[in-house]
Amino acid sequence: MSQLVITDLHASVITDAGEREILRGVTLTLDSGRTHAIMGPNGSGKSTLAYVIAGHPKYVVTSGSITLDGADVLAMSVDERAKAGLFLAMQYPVEVPGVSVSNFLRTSVTAVQGEAPKLRTWVKDMKSAMAELQMDPAFAERSVNEGFSGGEKKRHEILQLGLLAPKFAILDETDSGLDVDALRIVSEGVNRYREATDGGVLLITHYTRILRYIHPDVVHVFVGGRIVETGGPELADVLEAEGYDRYVTASA
């Protein structure tokens, strides 16, 4: 079993006006095989948490710690974090012109696993994974995310997740911009990853609609740069009915 432990994490974003604190003491433990949903209003720091875990250089950790199976994540470079078993699906995936999806994915798997997958096996595995996500095989030869719709970008993110098989998947608003069919397909891809790898999932979202497909074990309310309440799946229904106003008011 793997464990990702975040302890009293404080972090700031670097702006032209200087550093501005975003995370104000986040403490969270993720275990293999469990799904944690983080829900909160816009601007609460949810995405910042995801980027800090992944190692985005825009953010500075001022105190606290992150460990993965006892290893200091904050001492790792971005690629070392990926090799250690951390995966981030971004809310707004970037385009990489001139690099095909097939080459990008095989290079990524090679970097994480330490050796290139055998070509015949690789092509079979990639095509199978694409078929499960209802992706046209022609996408394999297109440049990464270039000209992709929002739903196609998110499917590509989950395609990466399935092929890389990390210890922990951090999904930053994966449901953003998805129609009903794409939401179901993407969610099924996340569920397949968890079942196949016993990996842990940190799912960041505003809404409960994705939680109808990806069932969380734990729900956290994130306001003002920290977790202000934790509960079971039923907490998501309370948030859907009542919103975040009482948490925002209490935090202020």
Average pLDDT over residues 134-145: 92
- What pLDDT shows up at residue 129? 95
∠167-170-172 over CA atoms, to 5°? 165
Average pLDDT for 223-243: 95
In whole angstroms, what is the distance from residue 51 CA to residue 69 CA? 19
Average pLDDT over the chain, rounded to an integer: 94
Q: Which of 14-18, 25-29, 172-176 has the highest mean pLDDT?
A: 25-29
Overall residue count recorded for the chain in this entry: 252
**Beta carbons of 45 and 22 less than 8 angstroms apart:** yes
Please tell me the predicted confidence (pLDDT) of residue 192. Answer: 96
Backbone angles phi, psi at 185, to 5 degrees: -65, -45
Higher pLDDT, 191 or 91: 191
Let me know: does 139 contact 169? Beta carbons within 8 Å: no
Least confident range of 148-157, 188-197, 218-227:
148-157
What is the C-alpha to C-alpha distance for residues 170 and 161, in angstroms, rounded to an integer?
10
The DSSP string of 47-100 is HHHHHHHHT-TTEEEEEEEEEETTEEGGGS-HHHHHHHTEEEE-SSPPPEEEEE
* 3-class DSSP assignment, residue 117: coil
* Element containing residue 204 per DSSP (H, E): strand 200-205
pLDDT at position 75: 97
pTM over the 0.85 mark: yes
The pLDDT assigned to 120 comes to 85
Tokens 């929002």 belong to residue: 150
Each residue's pLDDT tens digit, 153-166: 999 999 999 999 99
Q: What is the pLDDT of residue 206?
A: 86
pLDDT(119) > 90: no
